[in-house]
Homo-oligomer: A and B are copies of this chain.
């Protein structure tokens, strides 16, 4: 296990002033792969409980900058699409005695008082971030034992209230899907109709009529059909499509834009 430098650690656990107290950022990073929506989770040393990515807020940065910095530190990617969706705060939300004890006993190379600010009541400003799964090489932090993708539909044991945070992030994502071209963030640049169809089915958790979906999708006017196909083996090759980001920005500005895809039935 990699130890952090002692002086740095001591400063950190005293919070000599780099970070805000009692408030932090959690960032639920979503990716899509293999017809499954996935979320990037990390696990602290010595514990069999996972957390969403998150961290403290520097005095010199905004909460959005903090969320962006956290996403970058775990995915290596800049300027990902992210959205604030809710804040969580209650005296009980980070009470986890097992975590505190293990953290103190086993993980750290420096003495940390049990009443250190890091175990304090924290309000969490929560964001979700969308990223293309295939571009990400998850990178764990110094204080974590692991950082990896988990299917949203099959999560490991979660620490604190993080299972609820993921549930809320998913709810927000499902709402936003009607107003943002979510596919742009989660798919590769060129994608097929069946791929984006399946993405929407996965996120919404229900099946969507393929004919109506295609009709609606093309009606948005922000998708361009390319003159190429993708080879998929012993079957008809699907055409490739891409987003017309320019047209999207226009529509998005005038508020006339609506994917109208939320209401699609089965």
A7 at the B interface (CB under 8 A): no
**How many copies of this protein are present in the complex?**
2
Smallest beta-carbon distance A64→chain B, Å? 8
With contact pairs A22-B20, A22-B21, A86-B84 given, residues A121 and B91 touching in the complex (Cβ less than 8 Å): no
Q: B residues within 8 A CB of A121?
A: 20, 59
Q: B residues within 8 A CB of A217?
A: none
Q: B residues within 8 A CB of A40?
A: none
A254 at the B interface (CB under 8 A): no
Smallest beta-carbon distance A121→chain B, Å? 6
- Interface 1/0 per residue, A47-62 and B, CB below 8 Å: 0000000000101111
A87 at the B interface (CB under 8 A): yes
Q: How many residues in A have their beta carbons less than 8 Å from beta carbons of B?
A: 21
With contact pairs A86-B84, A125-B123 given, residues A91 and B22 touching in the complex (Cβ less than 8 Å): no
Q: B residues within 8 A CB of A60?
A: 91
Q: B residues within 8 A CB of A147?
A: none
With contact pairs A63-B87, A86-B84, A87-B84 given, residues A20 and B123 touching in the complex (Cβ less than 8 Å): yes
17 residue pairs A–B, Cβ–Cβ below 8 Å:
A20-B21, A20-B22, A20-B121, A20-B123, A21-B21, A21-B22, A57-B89, A57-B123, A59-B91, A59-B121, A61-B91, A62-B90, A62-B91, A64-B90, A87-B87, A89-B125, A123-B123
